[in-house]
Amino acid sequence: MSDGATKKDPGGKLQQNEGTNVLLNKDKPDVIFPFSVGKYLAEVYHSAKCLTHFCNVVTCGPNKGKVCLPTKSQNAFGCDNHGTLVLNSINGTAPTTPFPLPKAGTCTTKCPVINTKFTALFDLTQYIVVPFSSAKGSVNGSAPYLLPFFGPSGFACTSKIAKTDLANYGFRVFGKGSAGGHAITKCGDTH
């Protein structure tokens, strides 16, 4: 979340992946700001609107304690705080497929996904981090109880539902890894 202006910090602080700070709305045509394609897609196409301008918790009334009111088809966590920011091409490469993006909230069957040919310099690989385990049955440091979820043959690497959700939320889905693998671009491999 952004921090608005205070006596100690009159300019406030801008946070990446959040476009509701009033400082971003002063000079709209000239704003270049870091925003994750995945975060943008999650907010614009899968999240409810924030109930308050800065996406803070409501402090009174019938929605006290809430940040948003998601429908059954929206995330039950987080809210849409992309504000007035939009995604644009970098080096002539579109960030998503399709691009330009459809109207916010309009994807019901096929949502925009990250463009696999997006400028590699701006890629940021995300990993699932779990504690190292040397317990019996561990595979490359992954505990046996985590393998059904995060191992090469686990849910995150093999389930069509998981792969579709990952793609819809702007993540590239890596191919299946191997029990002895350590490739950084293979699902389920450890590094």
Domains of the chain, by residue range, sit at 1-118, 125-191
Q: Residue 115 in 3-state DSSP?
A: coil
Question: Cα 108 from chain centroid?
Answer: 18
Q: What pLDDT sits at residue 93? A: 92
* Residue 104: per-residue pLDDT: 77
pLDDT along the chain (191 residues), means of 10: 60 74 66 84 88 83 89 83 86 91 75 86 82 88 91 90 84 82 82 74
Cis peptide before 100 (omega within 30 of 0): yes
**What's residue 144's pLDDT?**
93
**Which pLDDT score, from 0 to 100, does residue 1 have?**
46
**For residue 78, what are its two tokens?**
């987080």
Which amino acid belongs to residue 8? K
For the record, the structure tokens of 19 come out as: 């476009």
Supply φ then ψ for residue 44, to 5 degrees.
-70, -35
Token duo for residue 117: 């040919």
pLDDT of 178: 81
How far apart CA 34 and CA 71 sit, in angstroms, is: 28
Report the distance separating Cα 19 and Cα 34, nearest Å. 10
Is residue 113 helix, strand or coil? strand
